């Protein structure tokens, strides 16, 4: 079967066409600047990129251009969109009620809409993507895979905040966790690739622009570092991660800002960008550090320290750890970050093998043979995970 996987942001739309039998990605692409002007970068596997500058007033227009590119006689990969069997959508937040992957119907769309205030940047875009695909490919099944599904397996004592219970009952205020598709995929891959027992205790470090850590036993979530929204947990590109909530009130009072403005500051102007003052991109911060920028060095160390602190906490949460897996932009590409994070973990018997760690973007064990914990690099593949879930739903 051919599955189109769609991941919409407010002004962007990423897609992959995946053959579910071979699990080969046949084409991928990105629509950018939707609602501004519009640019599509399309690439069939093994061929050069094909760029189209064309107006994209909305996500429906973007999807129509994607369809055109996919069937283009020269740059396409299918003869007709009839060959697409289903569309799988990444959706950020399903709230407390939509907890597993499912086929889209009116109720699903209504709930995604009800969750706009839980995922203000992503949920509206995700819904636009679904409606755009329904319009462009009438009658094709659309499936949704929620970023929150993995975290829904957490026990009550791990997901509840210690605030009056009525806010959970009334509004679903709890820890949900995000990057769920990635944590599910990587924890399961780590068990398979590492030859671990099926109920292995695995910590996954998804370290990218957005970053989170999870603890899982046999792939089932015990804890994960993001919360009601993706703001909680690690230091990220532009997000602060954990802060004392009193910081919000204090800055609001001092600067004459309201809560929304301070939350915007914590989401978009903090993290590596805010602390270093250089950039949200880890490579830029690393370059600034190498030029002697003190705050860039502090930001990198703070990021790595926070990851190590979570690994320690999650080892306690599971009363042990069999494997630690690194993934996403930084986790897959930055051997120094992996090594430095692991340098906090020698008390667990973690030993990194420098030669094995000198690797990017492939499945590999990077710990020494006598390391007490297997440390691995496992590239994430959220699109493939979404395609698998979509196939399971339509079969």
Backbone φ and ψ for 232, nearest 5 degrees, come out as -75, 155
Interatomic CA distance for residues 323 and 9, integer angstroms: 33
The count of residues interacting with ligand ADP (CB under 6 A) is: 12
Are 270 and 230 a contacting pair, CB within 8 Å?
Answer: no
Q: Do strands 39-44 and 49-53 pair parallel, antiparallel, or not at all (unpaired)? A: antiparallel
Residue reference for tokens 């992996």? 338
Backbone φ and ψ for 74, nearest 5 degrees, come out as -95, -45
Interatomic CA distance for residues 344 and 335, integer angstroms: 15
Give the burial string for 298-323 (b: 16+ CB within 10 Å, else e): ebbebbbebbbebbbebbebbeebbb
DSSP structural state of residue 45: T
Shortest Cβ 208–ligand ADP spacing (Å): 2
Q: Is 113 in the site for ligand ADP (CB under 6 A)?
A: no
Rank residues 232 and 334 by Cβ distance to ligand ADP and give the closer one: 334
CA 46 to chain CA centroid, Å, is 26
218-277 residues in contact with ligand ADP (CB under 6 A) are: 237
Rank residues 76 and 227 by Cβ distance to ligand ADP and give the closer one: 227
Rank residues 90 and 174 by Cβ distance to ligand ADP and give the closer one: 90
Which of 26, 83, 281, 353 lies at the binding interface for ligand ADP (CB under 6 A)?
281
Which DSSP string corresponds to 337-367? HHHHHHGGGGGGT--B-HHHHS--SS-EE-B
Which of 210, 227, 241, 274 lies at the binding interface for ligand ADP (CB under 6 A)?
210
Which of 92, 329, 365, 383 lies at the binding interface for ligand ADP (CB under 6 A)?
329
Rank residues 39 and 201 by Cβ distance to ligand ADP and give the closer one: 39
From 38-46, 61-69, 222-230, 328-336, give the range in contact with ligand ADP by CB under 6 A.
Answer: 328-336
Residue 147 known to be catalytic: yes
Which of 84, 330, 345, 352 lies at the binding interface for ligand ADP (CB under 6 A)?
330
Rank residues 76 and 119 by Cβ distance to ligand ADP and give the closer one: 119
Which of 49, 107, 197, 283 lies at the binding interface for ligand ADP (CB under 6 A)?
283
| R_g over Cα of the chain | 21
Which stretches of the chain bind ligand ADP, using CB under 6 A?
208-210, 237, 281-283, 328-330, 333-334
């Amino acid at each position: 079967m051919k599955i189109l996987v769609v991941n919409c942001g407010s002004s962007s739309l990423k897609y992959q066409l995946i053959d579910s039998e071979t699990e080969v990605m046949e084409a991928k692409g990105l629509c950018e600047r939707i609602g501004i002007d519009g640019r599509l970068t399309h690439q069939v596997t093994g061929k050069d990129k094909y760029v189209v500058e064309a107006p994209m007033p909305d996500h429906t227009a973007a999807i129509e251009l994607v369809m055109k590119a996919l069937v283009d006689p020269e740059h396409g990969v299918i003869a007709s969109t009839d060959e697409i069997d289903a569309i799988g959508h990444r959706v950020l937040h399903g709230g407390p009620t939509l907890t597993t992957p499912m086929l889209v119907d009116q109720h699903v769309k209504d709930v995604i809409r009800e969750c706009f205030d839980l995922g203000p940047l992503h949920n509206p875009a995700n819904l636009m993507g679904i409606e755009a695909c329904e319009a462009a490919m009438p009658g094709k099944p659309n499936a949704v895979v929620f970023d929150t599904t993995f975290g829904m397996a957490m026990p009550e004592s791990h997901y509840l905040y210690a605030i009056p219970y009525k806010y959970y009952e009334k509004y679903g205020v709890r820890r949900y966790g995000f990057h769920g598709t990635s944590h599910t995929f990587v924890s399961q891959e780590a068990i398979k690739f590492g030859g671990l027992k099926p109920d292995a205790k695995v910590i996954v470090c998804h370290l990218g622009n957005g970053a989170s850590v999870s603890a899982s036993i046999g792939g089932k979530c015990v804890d994960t570092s993001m919360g009601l929204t993706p703001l909680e947990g690690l230091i990220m590109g532009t997000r602060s991660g954990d802060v004392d909530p009193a910081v919000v009130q204090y800055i609001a009072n001092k600067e004459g800002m309201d809560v929304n403005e301070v939350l915007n500051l914590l989401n978009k102007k903090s993290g590596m960008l805010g602390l270093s003052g250089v950039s949200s991109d880890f490579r830029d911060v690393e370059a600034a550090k190498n030029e002697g920028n003190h705050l860039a060095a502090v930001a990198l160390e703070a990021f790595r320290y926070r990851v190590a602190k979570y690994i320690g906490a999650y080892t306690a949460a599971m009363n042990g750890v069999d494997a630690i897996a690194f993934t996403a932009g930084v986790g897959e590409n930055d051997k120094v970050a992996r090594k430095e994070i692991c340098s906090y973990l020698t008390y667990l018997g973690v030993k990194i093998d420098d030669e094995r760690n000198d690797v990017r973007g492939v499945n590999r064990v990077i710990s020494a043979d006598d390391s007490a914990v297997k440390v691995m690099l496992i590239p994430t593949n959220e699109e493939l995970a979404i395609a698998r879930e979509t196939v399971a739903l339509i079969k």
